[in-house]
Chain A
Amino acid sequence: MKGPLDGLRVLDMGWVMVGPVTGRYLADLGADVVKLESSRRVDPLRTLGPFKDGKPGLERSISYHNLNAGKRSLTVDIKDSRGREAILRLVEWADVLIESFSPGVLDDLDLAYPVLKARNPALIVASTSLLGQTGPHARGTSGVGTMGASMSGASLLLGWPGHAPCGTYGPWTDAIAPRFIVPSILAALHRRRATGEGCHIDVAQAEAGIQFLSPAWYQYAANGTVMERRGHAGSPLRVPHGIFRCAGQDRWIALDGSDEAAWQALRTIVGGPLLDSKFDTLIGRLRGRQELENAISAWTISQQADELERSLQSAGVPAHVVSNSNDLAHDPDLLDAHYCHIDDPIVGDAIVEGPRYRLGRTPERATRRGPRIGEHTQEILRDLCGYDAAAIDELKAAGVLV
């Protein structure tokens, strides 16, 4: 069996993260994904690290490979009328078009959904931007996922009570939005198989972020309580439940000894103050939380986090190192079955991430490298757009293929 989306044709006009990640999901599932690029206005992701061996270069960004693995790249000047026509030929070829321009840009290029639909009525167009295409603030709001995180309520929730919020690590909604765009596309494809109907899908990245925080919304809407940042990693209703400092610089272990079996196991290994009878009951542990957490910290502080993870797990206590970039790079599970080697003519051997699921019968494609800028322009124009060699030469000479 081939990939579940084998034969699906996708024109990926996104850049940086949300659009490209959406396209990569489809590529992993077997779709033929053509990424539109420009060497004049380079995808900013190509200028963002990490770079292989720390050496910057437009073809050296491992992030670019990670989000664009398995795609083909086409460079066409979309503002030129001949370039626009080439894009419209791809629109006829495509089943799905992904775009993440600032709202209004496609209208200015006369490539808004009605124009695309006229060329291909069955086309599924997914548009994504920070606040979507509609609403009083949609136009004029463009930028990066840290802004999406701010407007989804996430940034305020990270930090310490009484201190300024720390905000999310990076553009959080860039990771969340594709999780709502891809299901929307796949559901629209399911309907299209039955009815032939295309559609326009519009996902606001900040609204996607709100979905992951929906319990906080319900708490406000039903109880009138605005959830606040609390600093402490664990739940106030569970104990011991949180993170504890280990030996070394900025090393921490997360442990969850809150259910009865885990608590008994933890108590046995740590011993000492944890054996006190006041910790026999949950209520006793809640009331003695500070003392209990101090005792666990005193026990973890001299230990190596990764060894502690293994010993707690073998005793039956849910625990894991609070993984940092180095832990992830050396994690046995990830080395075993998540990281994939790619072989790229410019960066050589490099590691990107594989898919985040396992399909038993229709395995995802082997993870491939991302394309170089415009690497497949000629073959795409010839094979997908139907231009002959002379026409391609003409476009090239006119400076449209940059």
Chain B
Amino acid sequence: MLHDIRVIELSGPETMMAGRILGDLGADVIVVEPPGGAAGRRLDPFLDDTPGLDRSLTWHALNRGKRGITLDLGKADGRALLAELGRSAALVLETADRKATAPRADVAFPTSTVRCRITPFLSTGPKRDYFASDLIVTAATGVPGITGTPERPPLFYPVPQAMMEAGAEAAIASLAALSARDVDGLGQDIEVPARLAGMMSALSVPIVVPANNPELQRTPARQRLAGVALPGIFACKDGFVLVSFAFGQAFGRLTQRLMQWAVEQNCLEARLGAVDWSTAPQQAEKGSLTAEDMRATVDAIATLCLRHTKDEFGAEARKRGLLAAPLMDMRDIGQSPQYRERGLWSSPVTVGAEGCTVDDPARFAQFSNYTIDVRRPAPTLSQHTAEILKTDLGLSSAEVQALFVHGII
């Protein structure tokens, strides 16, 4: 769909997801790295836990489908070649080096170029000079500050998230600017502060206090009924399952079905199964649903979960229409007939020099008349430099060799 769009990605950890999304939607994405390799090549995990510039699995996951060249932008030749390459590009993606006020790559692009820069904090705000990394930006989003239990420290994902949030947001902002360009042919500068992007996953946390509500506390069981905490995650036979207790007009009937199942399985007494669960909070307030009732109900659901495997539980949740799902790990995801038959996975992508291949979860959307596919594995360091310099910029073989001799590529 974006087959006429060329993207130049001055690679930083935060640009990688942006370029990946645009490439998946059809754009021709050229990654530009310094001769020593982009920072993304040094992000763990590594193939066979052995580091190497072409062995970062984070790099592979986020750069497959792209071509890669090296250019030293600290040198005049590097900048001149980038400017020349920029004439064919609709979009340039770049990232601020550690703080929002760090200077941009000193390269002029045509007025038709959209230039999207990802910063940690707003370059115009009081935190513009803040030094940052993924951990720091993530801490500032409000997500960890609401995750986990108060006796233990806040929780962060073991996969860096600020770079994902920022990259995806940059894909949106860039495509918006490309829409304007479709109308009048003009580019523009865009800024995407990773902190603002990451705040999306904090959901309503940012607007709670400004609406004059008490601040939120970290607690695993946010919901209580008759003073009894309602857990959201229960152990099952071979792992864990999510069970949501929801009430009210829209979701109460789903809780009713869960209780019905617990009664059928002799985990819950029939009297509690017959409670009108859509109005349970009101009944608890009146006192007709007691703390003892709620403890018995939570225990019953715990017993029900322990009797089933993740798969069995998932199947029953679908059959009955419950607000419940298995907690899947990557093995479960790989084995899931849903993802496989629906077509999430691309054709296998090569990772590393030894011929290891992986299926890539490329098809984040299914289109009626377009298919996302991975055209090539992630570029090895400088893989396409000579090809692009010769084909696109018309450099001779001797010129390319000279650039290499001088450390520019």
Interface flags for A21-59 (1: CB within 8 Å of B; 0: not) read 100010001000000000001101001111111100000
Q: Is B406 an interface residue (CB 8 A)?
A: no
Shortest Cβ distance from residue A355 to the other chain B in the assembled complex, whole angstroms: 8
Shortest Cβ distance from residue B105 to the other chain A in the assembled complex, whole angstroms: 17
Q: Is B296 an interface residue (CB 8 A)?
A: no
Interface-located stretch among B74-82, B286-294, B320-328, B379-387: B320-328
What residues on A are CB-neighbors of B136 within 8 Å? 254-256, 318-320
Majority DSSP secondary structure for residues of B touching A: mixed
Extra 12 A-B pairs, beta carbons < 8 Å, given A164-B235, A207-B363: A44-B248, A50-B211, A143-B322, A150-B327, A166-B149, A175-B203, A183-B21, A223-B45, A233-B153, A233-B156, A256-B133, A324-B215
What residues on A are CB-neighbors of B332 within 8 Å? 153
In contact, A243 and B148 (Cβ under 8 angstroms): no
In contact, B173 and A327 (Cβ under 8 angstroms): no
What residues on A are CB-neighbors of B124 within 8 Å? 336-337
Indicate which residue in A156, A220, A357 contacts B172 across the interface (CB closer than 8 Å). Answer: A357
In contact, B209 and A181 (Cβ under 8 angstroms): no
What residues on A are CB-neighbors of B329 within 8 Å? 153, 156, 220, 226-227
In contact, A190 and B169 (Cβ under 8 angstroms): no
What residues on A are CB-neighbors of B364 within 8 Å? 180, 184, 203, 207-208, 211
Known: A220-B334, A319-B136, A333-B125. Contact between A356 and B207, CB under 8 A?
A: no
- CB contacts under 8 Å to B, within A139-155, are 140-144, 146-147, 150-155
Docked pose: A66 CA to B173 CA in angstroms: 19
In contact, B57 and A222 (Cβ under 8 angstroms): yes
In contact, B139 and A332 (Cβ under 8 angstroms): no
- CB contacts under 8 Å to A, within B110-160, are 121-122, 124-127, 129-133, 135-150, 152-159
What residues on A are CB-neighbors of B250 within 8 Å? 41-42, 44, 47
Q: Is B391 an interface residue (CB 8 A)?
A: no
Shortest Cβ distance from residue B63 to the other chain A in the assembled complex, whole angstroms: 11
In contact, B334 and A214 (Cβ under 8 angstroms): no
In contact, A143 and B240 (Cβ under 8 angstroms): no
In contact, A179 and B205 (Cβ under 8 angstroms): no
Interface flags for A181-214 (1: CB within 8 Å of B; 0: not) read 1111011111101100101111110011011111
Majority DSSP secondary structure for residues of A touching B: mixed
Q: Is A262 an interface residue (CB 8 A)?
A: yes
What residues on A are CB-neighbors of B394 within 8 Å? none
Interface-located stretch among A71-79, A359-367, A385-393: A359-367
- CB contacts under 8 Å to A, within B32-50, are 43-45, 47-49
- CB contacts under 8 Å to B, within A312-361, are 313, 316-334, 336-339, 350-353, 356-361
Q: Is A263 an interface residue (CB 8 A)?
A: no
- CB contacts under 8 Å to A, within B230-252, are 232-233, 235, 239-242, 244, 246, 248-251
Using a Cβ–Cβ cut-off of 8 Å, how many residues does chain B contribute to the interface with A?
Answer: 160
Shortest Cβ distance from residue B341 to the other chain A in the assembled complex, whole angstroms: 5
In contact, B325 and A325 (Cβ under 8 angstroms): no
What residues on A are CB-neighbors of B176 within 8 Å? 4-5, 29, 186, 357, 359, 362
In contact, B197 and A214 (Cβ under 8 angstroms): no
Known: A4-B177, A325-B206. Contact between A51 and B213, CB under 8 A?
A: yes
Docked pose: A130 CA to B182 CA in angstroms: 33
Q: Is A93 an interface residue (CB 8 A)?
A: no
Q: Is B395 an interface residue (CB 8 A)?
A: no
- CB contacts under 8 Å to A, within B361-404, are 361, 363-370
In contact, A245 and B319 (Cβ under 8 angstroms): no
Q: Is B178 an interface residue (CB 8 A)?
A: yes
In contact, A252 and B153 (Cβ under 8 angstroms): yes
Q: Is B342 an interface residue (CB 8 A)?
A: yes
In contact, A158 and B139 (Cβ under 8 angstroms): no
In contact, A318 and B179 (Cβ under 8 angstroms): no
| Nearest B residue to A147, CB-CB | B325
Using a Cβ–Cβ cut-off of 8 Å, how many residues does chain A contribute to the interface with B?
Answer: 155
Indicate which residue in A166, A187, A253, A334 contacts B155 across the interface (CB closer than 8 Å). Answer: A166
Interface flags for B178-215 (1: CB within 8 Å of A; 0: not) read 11101110101111110111011111111111111111
What residues on A are CB-neighbors of B127 within 8 Å? 332-333
Q: Is B226 an interface residue (CB 8 A)?
A: no
Docked pose: A203 CA to B342 CA in angstroms: 11
| Nearest A residue to B57, CB-CB | A218
Shortest Cβ distance from residue A232 to the other chain B in the assembled complex, whole angstroms: 8
In contact, A190 and B333 (Cβ under 8 angstroms): no
- Pairs A-B, 9 closest by C-beta atoms: A135-B342, A254-B139, A329-B209, A361-B188, A186-B175, A221-B358, A179-B168, A357-B173, A220-B330
Q: Is A397 an interface residue (CB 8 A)?
A: no
Interface flags for B1-34 (1: CB within 8 Å of A; 0: not) read 1101100000000000100011001100000000
In contact, B368 and A113 (Cβ under 8 angstroms): yes
In contact, B211 and A169 (Cβ under 8 angstroms): no
Indicate which residue in B152, B318, B359 contacts A231 across the interface (CB closer than 8 Å). Answer: B152
In contact, A362 and B188 (Cβ under 8 angstroms): yes
- Interchain residue pairs with CB less than 8 A apart (9): A113-B368, A137-B337, A156-B329, A191-B2, A219-B57, A223-B48, A243-B154, A322-B145, A356-B199
Indicate which residue in B125, B153, B327, B351 contacts A245 across the interface (CB closer than 8 Å). Answer: B153
Docked pose: A216 CA to B332 CA in angstroms: 13
Q: Is B268 an interface residue (CB 8 A)?
A: no
What residues on B are CB-neighbors of A169 within 8 Å? 143, 146-147, 201-203, 205
Indicate which residue in A21, A138, A164 contacts B233 across the interface (CB closer than 8 Å). Answer: A164
In contact, A250 and B217 (Cβ under 8 angstroms): yes
Docked pose: A36 CA to B208 CA in angstroms: 26
In contact, A151 and B172 (Cβ under 8 angstroms): no
In contact, B233 and A155 (Cβ under 8 angstroms): yes
Q: Is B62 an interface residue (CB 8 A)?
A: yes
Known: A190-B179, A322-B145, A362-B177. Contact between A182 and B330, CB under 8 A?
A: no
